[in-house]
Amino acid sequence: MLGSDNCHKFDILKAMNLCRLFVVKAILEGASHSTCHVVHDLAAAHFLTDPRTSILIEPFVEQENTITSAAQRVGISSLRMFRAVQRMENYGLIRVSKAMPRRGRPQKHYRAVADRFFVPYDIIGSDTLEDFLLEQDDRVRRVLFRCLAAHMQEILGDESRPGRVIRRRAGTLEQLGRIEAYSVANLKEANRESPTPLLSSEHSLGWSDYAAITLDRESALELRRELTVLFAKYAKPHGKQQFLFRSALAPVREPLADLLDKPKR
């Protein structure tokens, strides 16, 4: 999680939207749903998987909206939303749900053609499912760490020496571990047995961590359920500050050290 007033509102909205992409939702909830639309058009696929444009269809999913109200909801001009609606109509993603009579032209309401959209990864040019996940995650990851770095810098202040502490944790030399940074004022703490990283301080609204853990199947399922409940709880508004929250859990099928040593794709 992170908090930073320096993060542009649109960056957070785009990233949050990407986290709940209809592609992922369809995979998790089942693409066989009666209101799931399978996308075969390349342009439509790119529109849905690009966070800069996918946010524009959100006001029309499972509900109907006018161009003006949709623009207000997303926080863009009516002209930009009008052009986006034209594109979405051409792609077959939305359609006119009703036209309300009024003086002059009728007021059109639009609705997505389905409640979910499924984009096969090979449609957008990904060779493998791994490539697809990497391409989608990269956009969120860049926003996440840009905002996290800005928040850390706020805590550090002008005099700072961000860095990394290498130590033993859980009996092994830490390879993943927390992102840590120590200001000049608290660098002396690094010589103590349990230094306090900035992101764990009482002043930090951000958090980022990785860990290699060992679980049996039931424990892994229980952890996933707990994370799902936690995510659902805080996905509901609890204030005005926007945050980007990302969590992941994956079984490792080969030695982790070997995976970390593999060259970057």
In the chain (265 residues long), the average pLDDT of successive 10-residue segments reads: 44 44 43 69 90 90 94 93 96 93 89 91 78 80 86 71 61 49 53 54 72 89 93 86 86 79 59
Contacts of 98 (CB under 8 A, 6+ apart): 64, 108, 109
Q: In this predicted structure, what is the pLDDT of residue 56?
A: 94
User: In which domain, by residue range, is 48 found?
Assistant: 9-124
pLDDT of the residue at 213 = 84
Comparing C-alpha atoms, which of 99, 125, 128 is closest to residue 111?
99
Q: Is residue 68 part of a domain?
A: yes
In this predicted structure, what is the pLDDT of residue 11? 46
Full-model pTM: 0.54
- Residue 86 in any domain: the answer is yes
- Evaluate whether residue 202 is within a structural domain: no
Contacts of 163 (CB under 8 A, 6+ apart): 180, 181, 182
The reported pLDDT for the residue numbered 264 is 56
pLDDT number for residue 168: 61
d(CA 111, CA 96): 6
Domain total of the chain: 1
Domain-embedded: residue 259: no
> Among candidates 132, 130, 136, which has minimal Cα distance to 122?
132
Does 132 reside within a domain?
no
Any domain includes 239: no
Tokens of 147: 């905002």
> Residue 85's domain is classified under what CATH number?
1.10.10.10
Continuous H helices in 30-127: 42-49, 51-54, 67-74, 78-91
Residue 108 lies in a domain: yes
56 within a domain of the structure (yes/no): yes
Residue 123's pLDDT is what? 83
